[in-house]
Amino acid sequence: GGFRRIMAEGYNCNRLSINYLPAVTAVGHTAVYTGTVPAFSGIISNSMYFDGKWDTPVRDLNVQPVGTRRSEGKASPHRLMCTTMTDELRLATNFRSKVVSISTKDRASVLPGGHCANAAYWMDSESMDFITSSYYMQDLPQWLKAFNKQKLGEKYLKEFGRKKDKQGGWEADFWPLLYGDDTYVQSAGKHTDYYDQRTGTILKYLPWGNTLVADMVIAAIAGEQLGRNPAGVPDFLAVSFSCTDMIGHKVGPNAPWIEDTYLRLDQDIKRILDTLDREVGRGEYIVFLSADHAGSHNVKFRQEHGIPAGTWPYYRIKRELNDSLRAHFGIAVDLVHGLEDHRVFFNDAAISSLPASEGRNEAFKQQLIDYCIGLLLKKENVAYAFEPAKIPAYIPEPVRTMCINGYCPGRSGEIQVVLQQGITEDYDDGNKKDYNGIPLGTNHAVWSPYDTHIPFIVMGKGVRHAWDNRSYTINDIAPTICALLSIQQPSACVGNVIEVEK
């Protein structure tokens, strides 16, 4: 009734891939809904560098939180530079269609909802209520207030063995599996060194975070009367189950608990499809399923099986670059501000504060870039390092095109690093429990298929059942859905329509 039903009834694209760097959450959600690449969307990472500070791509200090007093409610699509297919549906129907977007993460709700969404809701980490911002509305609708009053998040935590510790937080531990241990044949077993034991401190790190999203989706279908638009036009419900990502970072794809997460998600998807069958009518709606990125196997797991693997220690590399720059140029300040997603961002404020003969001299900035590239090319596990606006001719495909697609001038930093295949970023640098300096769980963001091969399945009204092994990109999703809806493609769409219709 869940995944199997979607595959059995839908059009299955088995070879659909991400065609840009980096393969991370905010960029993936944007690409799915815009049909374009970061070069045109402006959403280049989960954390972006603006006015000398790091920020998320959706944080907006000019809006107010709604449903909470916490800053988690300050979000909008103000940094998205193009339209989404949800925007185009609103435009095509003269804003009579409703667009509602739901997730635990703000970016996974705001970016799919686009600029014109009627509502985008995400979860407050502390209260576990669904909230929004004044970009969309001044007050939560009554149906959502009633939903939040149920405190289902706390109910799930208590029901499945979580209780509050002396500090008022929730105790962390792995949850009991849905089925017998011996049935998790796709997993490496419970007792290994691959998994971070610190899961379950908040609902986002538990499969019941997905269950709460499904509860919210079902409440929204009824509360907003989605699929029953009096104007006779389609409505759009965008849903992102983000707990798979949060849990995946902790345990990687080989843990029985990630297998269990998907088994439980299967039940939640079935509940949603059953609700749509009942409320909208079987065969009277379209559903598509995809992902914003994938993820690698745990580093130690790969090494134990003879597969090349290593780590990219984020903070250690950053520290080494700054130490070398200070020594080489005789400067007392750190000039590298970050290495987000294997890109080097310089501290523009620090550079500008240097004497005019250095800080305001473009030749000096170029010296910094050239020197850093030289240092990076000597680092273990680095395949290439270069200025993204000056990609060397020797960079091979598909990496060359992926770097071009991922580069947005003014937002993407001064240096692009491409790691050797099999290298996983350790963004905690071993500060968490690890195995001889090797991080637990996993990460993503690189060009290799294990991070960029994602599913795309569409089923429902007008869609035929088939299995398609031809190659497509993430940018082909939006134009395909737009074709099914007979609406314009998003304003920066570079994808092509996949022929899924009957």
**Where in the sequence numbering do the catalytic residues fall?**
25
Strands 310-313 and 423-426, bridge-based pairing: parallel
Q: Is 230 exposed, middle or buried (0-12, 13-18, 19+ CB in 10 A)?
A: exposed
Cα 52 from Cα 379, distance rounded (Å): 27
Hey, what are 233's tokens? 């036009």
Cα 319 from Cα 33, distance rounded (Å): 37
Residue whose structure tokens are 């060194």: 193
Cα 413 from Cα 54, distance rounded (Å): 12
Q: Of all helices (H) and strands (E), which one includes residue 134?
A: none
Contact 147, 219 (CB under 8 A): yes
Cα 97 from Cα 476, distance rounded (Å): 23
384: how many CB neighbours lie within 10 A of its CB? 20
Cα 265 from Cα 352, distance rounded (Å): 50
348: how many CB neighbours lie within 10 A of its CB? 16
The residue among 204, 228, 227, 175 whose CA lies nearest residue 103 is 204
Q: Of all helices (H) and strands (E), which one includes residue 101?
A: strand 99-103
Give the N- to C-terminal CA distance of the chain in Å, as an integer: 22
Rounded (to 5) percent helix, strand, coil in the chain: 35, 20, 45
